[in-house]
A and B are shown apart, each in its own frame.
Chain A
Amino acid sequence: MEGTGGGRIERLLRAVEEGDRAARDELIEVLQPELRACASRMMRGQDRGHTLQATALVNEAYLKMFSRDHPHFSDRKHLLATAARAMRQILIDHARRKGRDKRHADGERTPLDNIALEYEGNGVDVLSLDEVLRDLATFDAEMARVAELRVFGGFSFEEIATIEDLSLRTLQRRWSSTKAWMASRLL
């Protein structure tokens, strides 16, 4: 996509670090398509509602990422990884709240409910998944990050290989065993 190459983003990131407010606005505009893509990849579902879900998720990810007023993202890769983390956190928070808050049980569904349902539809309990990822992080932080990028960020293996600086083959081999290990814990 034109104009969103790494160079421009990294230039903006530096300006944001230096406190340039206009650069921050510009950065948000530029990143919008990337984050949206990230969110909609997470739930490339069948129904129309998923656009709204992706939008809601992106908006919340923004709030999480920029609410601290001074994001330090060293580069685009870091920023996208942070986006994946923000989305994970949003889903986790949502799942916790659901568990606690039975009011929603028969009420209307929010976009986040629908996202959570898509995970559940694939036999994944978001909270258990989160626990397994934390467990994984204690002995293989790298694959825990990969899992986060893959599961919550929706990135392709090519993208993840670039972000984590791994060869595609290595990544796929290690992901295969990591996925099996996670599945053996969760399914």
Chain B
Amino acid sequence: MTPERWQRLQELFAAAIELPDDERAAYLAGLAGDDAELRDELARMLGAHDPDSTWPRPAGAEAPDPMVGVTLGDYRLESLLGAGGSGAVFRARQLSKDRAVAVKVLRTAPGGARTALERFKREALAAARLSHPNLVRVHYFGRDEGRDYLVMDLVDGPNLRDRMAACRALGPDDPAPPGPDLRDPRACAALVRDLARGLQHAHAARVLHRDVKPRNVLIAPDGAPRLTDFGLAKDLELADLTQSGELSGTPQYMSPEQARAVRERIDHRTDVYSLGAVLYELLAGRAPVEGDTTAEVIHNILHRPVAPLYRGHKYVPLGLALVCMKALRRDPDKRYATMEAFADDLDRFLAGGSVHATKQNLVERAGERLVDRRVLMKLVPAAGVLGIAGGLALFQGARVVQARGLRPRVEVLVPGVAEARVSLLPLDRHHLPAGPERELGVARGGRLAPVVVPEGNARVLVRTEGGASSEHQRDFTPGTRAVIEARPRVTRDLTDGMLSVAARAGVRPYVFEMRPQGEAMERFDEPVDVAPFLIDAACVTNGEFRAYLAATGRRHLDHWSDGWKAVWDDPPREDWDALPVVDLRMEDARAYAEWMGKRLPTALEWELAAGAYDAPRWTDEASAQEWNARYVLGFPALAVWEPTGAVSTGAAYLEYAQTARGAGRATAAGFHDPFGNVAEWTETRVPTALPGAPSAAHHVASGAWHDRLEEADRATWLHVWRPGFVVESPQDTGFRCARSL
């Protein structure tokens, strides 16, 4: 279509939709003078015209802004403030009194409408009875225009979640915006004390909140916190409206008994826990329990002890930490018995007195590690009979069993080798030794039966009598059952095509981090010493990988698409076998390396070998541009950023990839493509606990076609980091191997 035709089409369309439906056909017919093609196009557009649909955005994605301007009863909705679980909240004007209020309109959800309405009404009933400066007052519950709505005080301020983010963005010396300065633990304590007083009032009126969380706390212009959204509130006077087993509440702030959905055990101490969780996050900067999925969060609430505040959080005063941890005890009986007791202890802390909360003793902590003390007592009735001492012994015995069940194990297979020693070297985040090497055992007859290993990042080392060895990097997490297949080799048999990199002291490793909130952080770590190693001069090629597949009885990797398999079987390029192999998962790259008797390089090793820590750097713009042009980065596939002409990664590979050992693209030491031809997997993990990200997020070194080297004089010039979760098996990422010396 030409822009002119499109212009004309738009005009005709605008005129046509002004007409009533039954006149449109006549209008179309009347366009006889115009060409038929245009008329058909217009007819199709009119056929597809649906002014009310939100298409093509996802269903339910539309902000309910059609409600703005609507009057419900005495209230005119003025603007959308936000949307929550049960409905949208608007700033509104009460016409008879000419005052600003907040109106929450129940979202009409098909299917779930009844439950939602019951819940909504319950909120109204429960909250309307409450009047406290730290609770958002509910004034009215009504129905108009087929909509159920709730009228509340308008709190003109951010919620606590946003306030936390704003305070976190401040430097230590920046002045705080008006309101509580959440960098100050005392301000946090005072804020939580106020909320506790509000909840104390609610509990006295026999109303539980059950969904206490930062988002439900609004900060009024005078700085006072006010709790809102009694959407899950349980009125103890009323019969329970929800079906038992239904999960309600936001997982991170949910109490263990709530997570277990054992209805009869939910009482006011549930709110004590959730408010404790809010305090914890205020002080620690993260929720006491985290996880990638709702299921994981719930699992962690039930099974993982909250990391004590007084361990890693030096700036939290001990008294306040003790108060917080007491509110967060797994066993409701061990928490503050009432909201009032919680608030009183916070007052004691604020007044400079000593708090009533104490550290948990060992038995209590053991209890927290276990499923639940009461569950245990049910399972082991003898504990009650044996008395405290006997019960305790059983208790601790059970803890050991439990711990064994979770500890990671490794099994080592060494096919065709009669005897090999297996040991373990703990590693730090840079994959540098973090402790002494320890023996795991001897593999006889080609196998070492599963042995328990400590948690954490480590290298398993396999050595034979004849001086052959192999290395296997693994991150041992609880529950890991690793099976390693080792093919020990003698180092001198592997040096072909590998560069030797000398030991280097005082290197400050570059670190890229993704914080849980998603911020990307870059920094340089403390100086470290790096041991000598070998690294492939170039990436593993298609030809080499093909040979490996054949040797392991395969033609393709299972996950390859039919299209990629076809390309692999009948390559469109002459130099195919010399191109770096791509479309591998990190595990595939590692498996190849270990098959070869090598391992993947760490990010630090890769950078050292590529010369990233050498001086002088590429400091002038001109040479940066030259390298930019010569070393692939910044090819026209940059068009993936443009609205037109996106180039797929696979297509870009076919177009732009260069042979792995191409001339003129190596460092003086012979390291090929330091700026990337394809990007490369490394063993180093991205230090992050990003919600939603799978655990296998590995650093990717260098760059590929769509990446661009913008500034050569930056310390980060060599890095285009892409944690592996973006694409599990990217078509712009290959790898090379390394081996310790």
Q: How many chain B residues touch the partner (CB < 8 A)?
A: 85
| Inter-subunit contact A52/B57 (CB<8 Å) | no
Contact of B58 among A25, A33, A45, A179 (CB under 8 A): A45
| Inter-subunit contact A156/B63 (CB<8 Å) | yes
| Inter-subunit contact A173/B14 (CB<8 Å) | yes
Within residues 608 to 659 of chain B, which ones have a CB less than 8 A from any CB in chain A?
640-641, 643-646, 648-649
A58 adjacent to chain B (CB < 8 Å)? yes
> Distance (Å) between the CB of B259 and the closest chain A CB?
14
Residues of A within 8 A of B17 (CB): 176
Contact of A156 among B3, B55, B65, B563 (CB under 8 A): B65
Residues of B within 8 A of A150 (CB): 57
> Distance (Å) between the CB of B618 and the closest chain A CB?
14
> Distance (Å) between the CB of B687 and the closest chain A CB?
14
B47 adjacent to chain A (CB < 8 Å)? yes
B59 adjacent to chain A (CB < 8 Å)? yes
Known: A85-B643, A122-B58. A59 touches B50 (CB 8 A): no
| Inter-subunit contact A111/B692 (CB<8 Å) | yes
A123 adjacent to chain B (CB < 8 Å)? yes
Best-buried of B57, B641, B711, B714 by chain A (most CB within 10 Å): B57
Residues of B within 8 A of A115 (CB): 58
Q: How far apart are the CA atoms of A62 and B47 in the complex, in Å?
A: 39
Residues of B within 8 A of A44 (CB): 60-63, 83
Contact of B514 among A48, A59, A99, A154 (CB under 8 A): A59
Q: How far apart are the CA atoms of A148 and B50 in the complex, in Å?
A: 19
Known: A46-B60, A184-B45. A177 touches B14 (CB 8 A): yes
A128, closest chain B residue (CB): B56
Residues of B within 8 A of A80 (CB): none
Return the CB mask of B516-529 against A: 1 if under 8 Å, else 0.
01111110000000
Residues of A within 8 A of B640 (CB): 89
Contact of A2 among B61, B177, B708 (CB under 8 A): B177
| Inter-subunit contact A137/B644 (CB<8 Å) | yes
A124 adjacent to chain B (CB < 8 Å)? yes
Residues of B within 8 A of A56 (CB): 690-693
Contact of B644 among A2, A48, A134, A176 (CB under 8 A): A134
Return the CB mask of A163-184 against B: 1 if under 8 Å, else 0.
0000000000110111111111
| Inter-subunit contact B55/A29 (CB<8 Å) | no
> Distance (Å) between the CB of B161 and the closest chain A CB?
9
Q: How far apart are the CA atoms of A33 and B517 in the complex, in Å?
A: 10
B710 adjacent to chain A (CB < 8 Å)? yes
Residues of B within 8 A of A29 (CB): 165, 168-169, 519
Within residues 125 to 181 of chain B, which ones have a CB less than 8 A from any CB in chain A?
158, 162, 165-166, 168-169, 177
Q: How far apart are the CA atoms of A62 and B119 in the complex, in Å?
A: 38
Q: How far apart are the CA atoms of A115 and B59 in the complex, in Å?
A: 11
A23 adjacent to chain B (CB < 8 Å)? no
Within residues 66 to 111 of chain A, which ones have a CB less than 8 A from any CB in chain B?
66-70, 85, 89-90, 92-93, 96-97, 99-103, 110-111
Interface of A is mostly: helix
Within residues 35 to 90 of chain B, which ones have a CB less than 8 A from any CB in chain A?
41, 44-51, 54-63, 65, 83
Residues of A within 8 A of B58 (CB): 42-43, 45, 115, 118-119, 121-122, 124
Q: How far apart are the CA atoms of A171 and B521 in the complex, in Å?
A: 39
B723 adjacent to chain A (CB < 8 Å)? yes
Return the CB mask of B1-38 against A: 1 if under 8 Å, else 0.
11101100110011001000000000000000000000
B729 adjacent to chain A (CB < 8 Å)? yes
Residues of A within 8 A of B533 (CB): none
Residues of A within 8 A of B14 (CB): 173, 176-177
| Inter-subunit contact A89/B646 (CB<8 Å) | yes
| Inter-subunit contact B56/A100 (CB<8 Å) | no
Residues of A within 8 A of B60 (CB): 44-46, 118
Residues of B within 8 A of A138 (CB): 1, 644
Q: How far apart are the CA atoms of A67 and B722 in the complex, in Å?
A: 8
| Inter-subunit contact A41/B63 (CB<8 Å) | yes
A3 adjacent to chain B (CB < 8 Å)? yes
| Inter-subunit contact B729/A48 (CB<8 Å) | no
| Inter-subunit contact B518/A32 (CB<8 Å) | yes
| Inter-subunit contact A3/B48 (CB<8 Å) | no
Residues of B within 8 A of A42 (CB): 57-58, 61
Contact of A26 among B1, B55, B169 (CB under 8 A): B169
Known: A3-B177, A69-B710. A41 touches B61 (CB 8 A): yes
> Distance (Å) between the CB of A56 and the closest chain B CB?
4
> Distance (Å) between the CB of A61 and the closest chain B CB?
9
| Inter-subunit contact A183/B49 (CB<8 Å) | yes
Return the CB mask of B296-330 against A: 1 if under 8 Å, else 0.
00000000000000000000000000000000000
A10 adjacent to chain B (CB < 8 Å)? no
Contact of A60 among B10, B54, B726 (CB under 8 A): B726
Residues of B within 8 A of A60 (CB): 726
Best-buried of A68, A115, A148, A156 by chain B (most CB within 10 Å): A68
B294 adjacent to chain A (CB < 8 Å)? yes
B508 adjacent to chain A (CB < 8 Å)? no
A144 adjacent to chain B (CB < 8 Å)? yes
A72, closest chain B residue (CB): B710
Q: How far apart are the CA atoms of A115 and B49 in the complex, in Å?
A: 25
| Inter-subunit contact B292/A52 (CB<8 Å) | yes
Can you spell out 9 A-B residue pairs with CB atoms less than 8 angstroms apart? A25-B519, A43-B58, A43-B61, A55-B690, A63-B520, A68-B710, A70-B711, A92-B646, A124-B56
10 tightest A-B CB contacts, nearest first? A100-B561, A118-B58, A183-B48, A56-B692, A70-B710, A184-B44, A180-B45, A29-B169, A184-B48, A177-B13
A-B contacts besides A1-B162, A123-B56, A150-B57, 20 pairs, CB < 8 Å: A29-B519, A45-B61, A52-B293, A56-B693, A63-B520, A63-B723, A97-B727, A100-B564, A110-B692, A121-B59, A122-B57, A134-B644, A134-B645, A137-B644, A144-B643, A154-B57, A154-B61, A184-B41, A184-B45, A184-B47
